[in-house]
Amino acid sequence: MAKAFGKVILAGEHAVVYGYPAIASVIGQSVRVEASYTNTPGFEFENHHLNARGDAEQLLEQLSPKLQSLLGERISKVQFKITSQIPGGCGLGSSAALSVALIRSALDLFGEQKNTQEVTDMALEIEKIFHGNPSGIDHTVIAEESLIWFQENKAKHIQCPKPFNIVIAITGPHAGTLKAVQAVRARYENNPQATKHTLEAIADITHNMREAIQTGDIKSVATLMTENHKLLGALGVSTPELDSLCKLAIDNGALGAKLTGAGGGGSIIALTHEPNRLAAVFKQAGYQALQTVVG
Ligand code: PMV
């Protein structure tokens, strides 16, 4: 059995695609995969929304040959039983966690040891099925299982002397990471100067957030999240629903809030000292809410 936790991006999504840094953390919710030898090989989903946008079958067709090319012919005799606590397509790393957990469960079954970098490299190949050409932040933070600074495919652990509470509110699956990344690319091509300026401002926020996390300045971490959200709005990846959920969080005591992941739907994260109260507020407003601690 193998488990991989989901993730949130605290700062720097989209900018990370252009070589700027981002900060991401694993969350408490996970994907569990049990691999076993069987006469009925393949994938059995207990409750994983492999692809909330409906092209799951096509993705599954690509998954088996990809696993075979990474782990060999022996994969053709294996059944993977998948259970997930991470809603799919909502910017919480559900596909990257599945990628990491599939690799780990197979290695576990074969009695093979691989280091984190090797697991990360293999998971990237699977992640490409779901996301085309991802920056790598999702599966890297998930394989590292920590709070990381990520830039140009390299991860560094961030020390966090004061862990903080995050509440995640989920609006539903977003329109797709690839689509959102392409929309930002089009914006960059149409208006390079302004878009570069926005990406640089996001990078400044990411640098300042690392400093705030390391010094335990939680209030500044939260304020920087809110500033990052505004800049993601300027990149065109927020939505009125995400904006209003961030406002709802702040109106209910959150110190800061932002969308997390690709945007265009998906999830927001809010930093708060009262996670139970805020989660109840989101639920009352009709949204699924998850709680996690960062650090
Ligand atoms: O797939 P998501 O929603 O977790 O978004 C990934 C973060 C992006 O920066 C938007 C894309 C990437 O590849 O880094």
Domain final residue, candidates 114, 130, 156: 156
Residue-by-residue DSSP string for the chain:
-EEEEEEEEEE-TTGGGGT--EEEEEEEEEEEEEEEE-SS-EEEESS--S-TTS-HHHHHHHHHHHHHHHH-GGGGGEEEEEEESS-TTSSS-HHHHHHHHHHHHHHHHHT----HHHHHHHHHHHHHHHHSS--SHHHHHHHHTSEEEEETTEEEE---SS-EEEEEEEEE--S-HHHHHHHHHHHHHHSHHHHHHHHHHHHHHHHHHHHHHHTT-HHHHHHHHHHHHHHHHHTT---HHHHHHHHHHHHTT-SEEEEESS-SSEEEEEE-S-HHHHHHHHHHTT-EEEEEEE-
Ligand 1 atom closest to Cα of 7?
Answer: 4
- Residue 121 and residue 7 share a domain: yes
**Residues contacting ligand 1 via CB (< 6 Å):** 13-14, 16-17, 91, 93, 134-135, 137-138, 177, 180-181, 261-262, 266
Judge if 132 and 203 occupy the same domain: no
Residue 165 sits in the same domain as residue 151: no
Atom number, ligand 1, closest to the C-alpha of residue 180? 10
Tens-digit pLDDT profile for residues 8-34: 999 999 999 999 999 999 999 999 999
- Same domain for 167 and 81: no
> Which atom of ligand 1 lies closest to the CA of 177?
1
Q: In this structure, are 139 and 33 located in the same domain?
A: yes
Number of domains in the chain: 2
In a mutational test of the pocket of ligand 1, which residue from 7, 8, 10, 13 has the highest number of ligand atoms less than 8 Å from its CB?
Answer: 13
Co-location of 94 and 34 in the same domain: yes
Residues 172 and 223 in one domain: yes
pLDDT digits 0-9 by tens, 52-108: 555 667 777 889 999 999 999 999 999 999 999 999 889 999 989 999 999 999 999
**pTM score of the predicted model:** 0.95
**Ligand 1 binding pocket mutation candidate from 181, 231, 235 (most atoms within 8 A of CB):** 181
Q: 199 and 117 share a domain? A: no
Query: Minimum mean pLDDT among 63-67, 93-97, 172-176, 265-269: which range?
Result: 172-176
- 96 and 169 housed in the same domain: no
Q: Which range marks the domain in which residue 50 is found?
A: 2-156
Domain boundary among 156, 171, 199: 156
- Domain end (from 96, 125, 156): 156
Q: Are residue 151 and residue 232 in the same domain, yes or no?
A: no
Whichever domain contains 94, its CATH number is 3.30.230.10
